[in-house]
């Protein structure tokens, strides 16, 4: 489906204003126009947004459609993946157990999970419950353990012991997902309930979040957004990503109706109509800066926001904006995005979902919300961020072009194609199997990730993943002194040939 399909998307009529929105009538009208214009500018098929101010939901609306080629409008009850905005919910779950005296933030993880083991025995002993939430453990990006494998969560955690650290514990910050999975296992061990049952009983039920689901596998409602992405210049709907294997890090599905309740609760010291989720001290600890985030690990939008400081709380990125503290977190799965941002000093929060891959219109709407409803200002964040991310995309595309331009023509493989076929294994990365189909190598990684590779140059092969929205991949074979294939580096990971 080509880009022209987006121009048939029209303004969704579903809109809800809060009970006390009269002081914001003009701002609401302007914001409503701005959101729709920004949606079109960023080519987003559908999105939903809510604004919370002074303990009321003052704006709540769906725009566009749930997918391409459909006339099903997005409304406040349309389901989207929360993705990594789930992390703040998992932190609150742990906070509840802190309040009950069942666990402490500075307790060693091994006190609750004796079999927990990392690559470095010292780090294994040193990692505290707090470290599970703030990305400072030394473990780098190890998402291949759930994106490239189909293994249970217990096996994911076991394999963490094979991942070499990227830096010394608490010396830096590298965002990753797996420690939130470990946190979920601690919650299970301490409470006697699975993480998904705990979050349902202790957050969704009290807050009357009746359309929120801990796992993707539970989502069967037809009113759900379809993930969309531009592939080779063409817009298309893609398969849903499933983050159930790392549930506490990003598997929750919800709707704007429900997450606006969550936003109200988190903005107002965890209060809700029936009481409080957390003690005040624990709620404050959630938002206390826990570790410094270097610019390289923060959102590119900060290039324009220009904050004085950037930190991470318990499940929240943080920075200053016009002299006020902002807590926010994005969520991203293939073809879907989310964002939850709050400015406690102005008693305002904004939540948004959209069904277009890494659509950074989400950031634009955050700062437009703060300007329009709290701080003043008329910068066109949508246009500015669109240009910023356009430059980033051009840079990424240029890197691919530069790589492809360095191909050495007219080379041939060192061996016959069938000599590259076989099985390759690694204790951490699993099993990679290669077969030959005509002039191509067919790669299957753990029966989950598949790709078709053609000869590129020398003993390098290059091609597309089977799910072409995942892009292209390179494989480099290593030949030993006997003229036999010994190893392969596939997408940056080394495998040894076994037979």
> If you average pLDDT over every residue of the chain, what do you get?
94
- SS3 at position 161: helix
Task: Name the residue among 331, 312, 320 with its Cα closest to residue 262.
Answer: 331
Residue 39 to residue 51: CA distance in whole angstroms:
17
- SS3 at position 124: helix
7 pLDDT higher than 70: no
5 pLDDT higher than 80: no
Residue 405 to residue 473: CA distance in whole angstroms:
16
- β-pair partners for 213: 253
Q: Which two tokens stand for residue 101?
A: 């005296």
**DSSP string covering 348-389, please?**
EEEEEEESSTT-THHHHHHHHHHIIIII-----HHHHHHHHH
Topology, domain 3-396: Beta-lactamase (3.40.710)
Residue spans per domain, the chain: 3-396, 417-497
Digit-coded pLDDT (tens) for 319-332: 999 999 999 999 99
Provide the percentage of residues in the chain whose pLDDT is more than 90: 94
Instruction: Confirm if 479 and 471 have CB atoms less than 8 A apart.
Output: no
What pLDDT score was predicted for residue 18? 47
Cβ neighbours around 86 below 10 Å, total? 28
Digit-coded pLDDT (tens) for 173-207: 999 999 999 999 999 999 999 999 999 999 999 99
Within a 13 Å sphere around the CA of 328, how many CA atoms are in the beta-carbon half? 29
H-helix or E-strand spanning residue 32: helix 25-41
pTM value surpassing 0.75: yes
Q: Do domains 3-396 and 417-497 have the same CATH topology?
A: no
What pLDDT score was predicted for residue 288? 98
Burial category of 93 from C-beta neighbours within 10 Å (exposed 0-12, middle 13-18, buried 19 and up): buried
Instruction: Confirm if 475 and 460 have CB atoms less than 8 A apart.
Output: yes
Residue 159 to residue 153: CA distance in whole angstroms:
10
What pLDDT score was predicted for residue 8? 30
- Which of 2-6, 57-61, 191-195, 305-309 has the weakest average pLDDT? 2-6
Task: Measure the CA dihedral 313/319/324/326, to 10°.
Answer: -60
- SS3 at position 265: helix
**DSSP string covering 416-434, please?**
-HHHH-EEEEETTTEEEEE
* Residue carrying the six token digits 């729709």: 36
With b meaning 16 or more CB within 10 Å and e meaning fewer, what string describes 306-341? eeeebbbbbbbbbbebeeebbbbbbbbbbbbbbbbb
Topology, domain 417-497: Lipocalin (2.40.128)
21 confidence band (pLDDT: 50, 70, 90) = low
Digit-coded pLDDT (tens) for 394-435: 999 999 999 999 999 999 999 999 999 999 999 999 999 999
Contacts of 176 (CB under 8 A, 6+ apart): 135, 139, 140, 141, 142, 143
- SS3 at position 170: coil
12 pLDDT higher than 50: no
Provide the percentage of residues in the chain whose pLDDT is more than 70: 96
Digit-coded pLDDT (tens) for 364-383: 999 999 999 999 999 999 99
Instruction: Confirm if 21 and 59 have CB atoms less than 8 A apart.
Output: yes
Q: Which two tokens stand for residue 410?
A: 């007219």
Cβ neighbours around 52 below 10 Å, total? 29
- SS3 at position 437: strand
Q: Which two tokens stand for residue 175?
A: 């965002």
146 pLDDT higher than 50: yes
Q: Give one word for 333, left, alpha or beta, with left for phi > 0 and alpha for psi -120 to 50.
A: beta
Digit-coded pLDDT (tens) for 34-59: 999 999 999 999 999 999 999 999 99
16 pLDDT higher than 60: no
- CA of residue 364 relative to chain centroid, distance: 18
Residue 361 to residue 79: CA distance in whole angstroms:
19
Instruction: Confirm if 182 and 116 have CB atoms less than 8 A apart.
Output: yes
């Amino acid at each position: 489906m080509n880009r022209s399909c987006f121009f048939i998307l029209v303004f969704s009529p579903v809109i809800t204003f809060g009970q006390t929105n009269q002081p914001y009538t003009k701002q609401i009208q302007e914001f409503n126009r701005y959101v729709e214009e920004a949606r079109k500018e960023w080519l987003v098929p559908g999105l939903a947004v809510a604004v919370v101010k002074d303990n009321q939901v003052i704006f709540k609306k769906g725009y566009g459609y749930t997918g391409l080629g459909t006339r099903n409008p997005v409304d406040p009850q349309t389901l989207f993946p929360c993705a990594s905005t789930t992390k703040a919910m998992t932190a609150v779950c742990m906070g509840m157990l802190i309040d009950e005296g069942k666990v402490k933030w500075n307790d060693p993880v091994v006190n609750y999970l004796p079999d927990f083991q990392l690559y470095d025995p010292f780090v294994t002993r040193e990692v505290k419950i707090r470290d599970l939430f703030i990305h400072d453990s030394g473990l780098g990006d190890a998402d291949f353990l759930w994106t490239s494998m189909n293994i249970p969560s217990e096996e994911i955690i076991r394999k963490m012991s094979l991942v070499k650290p990227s830096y010394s514990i608490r010396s830096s910050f590298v965002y990753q997902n797996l420690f939130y999975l470990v946190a979920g296992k601690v919650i299970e061990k301490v409470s006697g309930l699975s993480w998904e049952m705990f979050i349902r009983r202790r957050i969704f039920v009290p807050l009357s979040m009746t359309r929120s689901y801990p796992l993707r596998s539970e989502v069967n409602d037809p009113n759900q957004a379809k993930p969309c992405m531009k592939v080779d210049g063409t817009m298309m709907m893609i398969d849903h990503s499933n983050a159930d294997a790392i549930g506490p890090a990003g598997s929750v599905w919800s709707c704007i109706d429900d997450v606006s309740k969550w936003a109200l609760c988190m903005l107002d010291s965890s209060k809700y109509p029936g009481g409080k989720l957390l003690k005040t001290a624990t709620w404050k600890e959630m938002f206390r800066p826990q570790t410094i985030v270097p610019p390289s690990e923060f959102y590119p939008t900060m290039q324009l926001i220009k904050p004085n400081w950037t930190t991470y709380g318990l499940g929240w990125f943080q920075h200053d904006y016009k002299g006020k503290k902002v807590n926010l977190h994005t969520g991203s799965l293939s073809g879907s995005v989310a964002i939850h941002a709050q400015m406690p000093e102005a008693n305002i929060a904004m939540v948004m979902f959209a069904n277009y891959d890494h659509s950074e219109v989400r950031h634009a709407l955050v700062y437009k919300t703060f300007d329009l409803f709290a701080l003043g200002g008329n910068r066109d964040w949508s246009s500015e961020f669109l240009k910023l991310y356009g430059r980033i995309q051009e840079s990424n595309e240029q890197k691919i072009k530069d790589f492809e331009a360095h191909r050495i023509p007219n080379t041939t493989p060192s061996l016959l194609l069938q000599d590259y076929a076989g099985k390759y294994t690694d204790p951490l990365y699993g099993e990679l199997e290669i077969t030959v189909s005509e002039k191509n190598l067919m790669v299957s990684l753990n029966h989950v990730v598949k790709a078709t590779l053609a000869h590129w140059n020398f003993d390098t092969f290059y091609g597309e993943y089977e799910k072409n929205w995942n892009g292209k991949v390179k494989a480099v074979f290593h030949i030993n002194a006997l003229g036999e294939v010994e190893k392969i580096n596939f997408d940056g990971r080394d495998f040894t040939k076994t037979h």
